């Protein structure tokens, strides 16, 4: 439900008909990455602010400066805001735009992965470390070598290996890269050419660097062919996420300008992944960004919309709703608002 289509919306009615309500209302939050540590839910969102910056296709108006961590004792309990966990002023290499983060735990340490722009206006991905899941986090002095673009999502596989997925086009700059090399002259492929792919790299044992050269994550159609750049309803735009369910790896993502959360499945963390369908239909606001987390034996979609701000695209609110699988492991498509 892109911004240009909100003029007719009665937000009182829409909020009544929403399948879920914002987890917090005292600040604006988006891009929720949810995890369960020691039986408690922790959510690592972006912290939206109104910086007074004009809208553009590069997302300059998404001028976030810090991260807050939210926690919930159970899926039905009130979310607690633990305050600022990391601020851009405390990241030596970063200048602005603290976009969608993720976090994980290893050997009692917590690792927050986040994108930000350097002084040259190029996004890279950094990591910050804490002894607590709620921070405060202390950033490494330099970004992860070989990292680029946005939307890091960390996945722990069954064998204890950790992988970082990342990438986003348009403002996320993925279109400027080929074979991990930046060139300002690069643009999106033509509509009949294969779409740009998200990126994966295994993390080093200390969780602070890549253990290998980043590679593309292939997303295929039903015929085993790469999705095309013009297939806007299915191709990857941003917001990669991986979860493991019933013997399969589920790679989910946002289609960006068509506003769907879609997913594909595969047999290992690297893919290839075959497109399966939509998880979430469009929400109010231009962006759609999510995570999927198991809580007490049920699966939940953490997502955001702009209902609380009455349609302001860069002032979003984190929500959660249960997802269901059919007997074949297909995720049932969710409508965010009731008729």
Nearest to 31 by CA among 90, 106, 114: 114
Q: What is the DSSP letter of 90?
A: G
Instruction: Report if pTM > 0.95.
Output: yes
What is the 3-state composition of the chain as percent helix, strand, coil, each rounded to the nearest 5? 5, 40, 55
Q: What is the DSSP letter of 309?
A: T
Q: Which residue has the tokens 């050419």?
A: 193
How confident is the model at residue 56, as a pLDDT?
87
How confident is the model at residue 5, as a pLDDT?
64
SS3 263: strand
Q: What is the DSSP letter of 4?
A: G
How confident is the model at residue 1, as a pLDDT?
44
Which tokens in the block code for residue 308?
A: 């609380």
Cα–Cα distances in angstroms (integers) from residue 2 to residues 72, 234, 260, 327, in the given order: 30, 17, 11, 33
Q: Give the phi and the psi of residue 4 in degrees, each rounded to 5.
A: -65, -10
**What are the residues whose beta carbons fall under 8 Å from the beta carbon of 159, sequence distance 6 or more?**
none
Q: Which residue has the tokens 């722990």?
A: 156
Name the residues annotated as catalytic. Answer: 31, 238
The Cα–Cα gap between 199 and 146 comes to: 11
Per-residue pLDDT of the chain (339 residues; tens, 9 = 90+): 444 567 789 999 999 999 999 999 999 999 999 999 999 999 999 999 998 888 888 899 999 999 999 999 999 999 999 999 999 999 999 999 999 999 999 999 999 999 999 999 999 999 999 999 999 999 999 999 999 999 999 999 999 999 999 999 999 999 999 999 999 999 999 999 999 999 999 999 999 999 999 999 999 999 999 999 999 999 999 999 999 999 999 999 999 999 999 999 999 999 999 999 999 999 999 999 999 999 999 999 999 999 999 999 999 999 999 999 999 999 999 999 998
């Amino acid at each position: 439900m892109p911004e240009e289509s909100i003029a007719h919306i009665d937000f009182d009615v829409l909020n009544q008909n929403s399948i879920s309500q914002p987890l917090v209302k005292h600040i604006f939050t988006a891009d929720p990455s949810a995890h369960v540590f020691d039986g408690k839910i922790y959510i690592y969102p972006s912290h939206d602010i109104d910086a007074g910056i004009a809208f553009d296709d590069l997302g300059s108006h998404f001028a976030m400066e810090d991260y807050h961590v939210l926690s919930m004792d159970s899926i039905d309990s009130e979310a607690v805001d633990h305050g600022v966990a990391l601020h851009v002023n405390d990241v030596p290499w970063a200048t602005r735009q603290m976009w969608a983060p993720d976090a994980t735990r290893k050997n009692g340490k917590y690792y927050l992965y986040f994108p930000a722009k350097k002084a040259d206006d190029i996004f890279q991905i950094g990591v910050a470390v804490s002894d607590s899941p709620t921070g405060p986090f202390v950033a490494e002095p330099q970004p992860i070598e070989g990292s680029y673009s946005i939307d890091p999502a960390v996945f722990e596989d069954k064998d204890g290996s950790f992988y970082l997925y990342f990438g986003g086009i348009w403002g996320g700059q993925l279109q400027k890269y080929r074979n991990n090399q930046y060139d300002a002259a690069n643009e999106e492929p033509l509509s009949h050419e294969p779409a740009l792919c998200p990126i994966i790299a295994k993390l080093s044992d200390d969780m602070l660097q890549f253990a290998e050269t980043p590679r593309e994550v292939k997303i295929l159609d039903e015929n085993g062919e790469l999705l095309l750049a013009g297939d806007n309803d299915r191709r990857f735009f941003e917001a990669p996420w991986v979860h493991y369910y019933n013997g399969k790896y589920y790679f989910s993502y946002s289609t960006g300008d068509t506003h769907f959360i879609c997913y594909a499945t595969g047999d290992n963390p690297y893919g290839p992944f075959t497109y399966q369908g939509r998880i979430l239909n469009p929400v109010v606001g231009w962006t759609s960004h999510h995570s999927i987390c198991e809580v007490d034996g049920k699966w939940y979609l953490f997502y955001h919309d702009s209902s609380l701000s009455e349609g302001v695209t860069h002032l979003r609110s984190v929500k959660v709703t249960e997802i269901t699988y059919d007997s074949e492991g297909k995720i049932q498509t969710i409508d965010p608002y009731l008729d």
